[in-house]
Structure 1
Amino acid sequence: MQTAFVTGATGLLGNNLVRLLLERGVAVRALARSRTKAESQFGQIPGLEIIEGDMQDVAGFALALAGCDVVFHTAAYFRESYGGGKHWAMLKRINVDATAGLIAAAHAGGVRRFIHTSSIAVVNGPRGALIDESMTRDPRDADDYYRSKMQSDAVVQAFLRDHPEMFAAFVMPGWMHGPGDLGPTAAGQFTLDYLKRVLPGTPPGTFAFVDARDVAFALVAAAEKGRRGEHYLAAGHHIAMPDLVKIYAEVTGTPAPKRQIPVAVLWPIAVLQEVVARITRRPALLSLATVRTMRAEAERTRFDPAKSRDELGVTFRPITETIRDEVAWFRARRMV
């Protein structure tokens, strides 16, 4: 692997992947919608080439795929789909159709290795069960974002069936945190809100918490050692929200909210937030889609790391380390 192409390069996962590849001596072509944002994220790093482009127009950057040994696809339409309202058209355009266009353009440009960022959204199991890669989710039990990720995987799998000379593997992250969250993502915004002490209380739910740097490692390992067509979980640690905010308090010294917010209270808040979002045209801080997902996925966030550990060598750093580094990065950037 001498040259890699990374989509979503300025995002939380993408920028950590870019840095890991550069550390390993791999030249990187980094796709970014904004050169200014990319330069803010990376500065001037030897071996990095910024490719301005948008996943809504794969043809516009397709020529830059030629000569690459592998494409890492980390870009996705995610945060906006939980900001209130309906987003299926854009979810399909970016997560499904653009993925199909990307792998086809990569193949046409001579690339034969494609690493796709899937999601824990594509698997499911009973509450309390240990979920592995074989436990695929029923599409009827999926919100629009989850459905888009399932269809995104499907278009890559279809391409593999039609092109036996092409290699692709899938890495499935959980709720990613870590340094480099310039966006910020919803995860990073949660951390910022915690530090600013604007959280009204501790919401319910359980999560699969993972460091974006560990997911980046899994992506590179999948390119080097993964098996064709296989899925690999990189979901991290199962944790309940009350336990997570205790870790935030220990690491940051900022007291955790004392009030517990039951799900019954979240529904009317989400309704009000969506009304405000429609009026102001700003994303809802808490949407109905978020509450539905939080409720549906509670105690369905225990994921079996055995396959990724045994085949790719993936391990997960402690949550305390991730939060400490995430907070330090935000403070260094004067974002809090």
Structure 2
Amino acid sequence: MKKSSWLFYMILIISTLITLSSYNWMGMWIGLEMNMMSFMPLILNKANKSSSEAAMIYFLIQSVMSMIMFMMIIIEHINYNLSKELINLVMMMSILTKLGAAPFHYWMPTIMAKMEWNKIILLMTWQKLAPMMMISNMNNSMVINLSIISSVMVGSLGGINQSSLRKMMGYSSINHLGWMLAINKFVSLWMIYFIIYSVLTTLMCKYFMISKVYFLNQMSSLNMNNMEKVNLFIMMMSMGGLPPFMGFLPKWITIQNMINNSNYFIMTIMIMFSLITLMYYMRVMTNMFLSFSTTIKWMTNKKNNALMLIMMIMNLSLPLIMMLDIM
């Protein structure tokens, strides 16, 4: 399986590009099916009980939603006596379920708790691209607004009592998905959000993968030096969207866009619940900062040296961008 995994990665990329470049629903559906069938062997890369359960849950959710979507495409094509609004509603709900957006999110944190970090990175980043592009081509503001509010609330409240870092990152992903759906109609804007979010998430999960950390209580036993602690703290704050770090930029863009479109009510809910996400990001770092450090040296571990440098540059680049913009 490991020798042939490059083939599945290639099909995964090609299938997403097929969905993005299709001009009709059938082409998009074919791309999504190819994407599902290439992602499942990647989940099963290591044959154990957890990965098998994750692959089965993923297959059931994605295949059922694909069948519902396909049925709606056929009904629309044959001009069956069914209202256009109902067809769009069912299709929108099926795509949101495939995406893992609330209130259709229950499967996502469950399978993330059973997967490896490198597969989690794919699920939280690349796997969102095709469904998000499909939603941007649809028009059902009522369902989107409901999903935005639900995703922001569930993503914030769901991660509070989590001891599993993988589940916490899953709820964080749901929260960020609500912000991306808020600017979904403007492709260039949500793509900026998606790229910054993907880079930050990848860096965070890569650090967890290198450190072999899966639960909150393992963080205090990492024996990090001060430089790594400060760097990881900045990373967490950036993920929560705290200024002046890089993670604030996409949220700033979203807030400005919603003000321009007079979406004050939804924007207020989103800002309020983003404070709760900051709280559970801080929980990850609190124990480490309060615990006694075994070293006073401000130098990084050699195995994490490059990753730490990238994280620092990425998160502290926003003030520089703002200064250049002012000048």
What interval of TM-score do these two structures reach, taking the shorter chain for normalisation?
0.3 to 0.5
Structure showing the higher strand proportion among its residues: 1
- TM-score, normalization: structure 1? 0.32
Structure showing the higher helix proportion among its residues: 2
Instruction: Give the number of the structure with larger relative contact order, counting CA–CA contacts within 8 Å between residues 6 or more apart.
Output: 1
Instruction: Tell me which structure has the larger Cα radius of gyration.
Output: 2
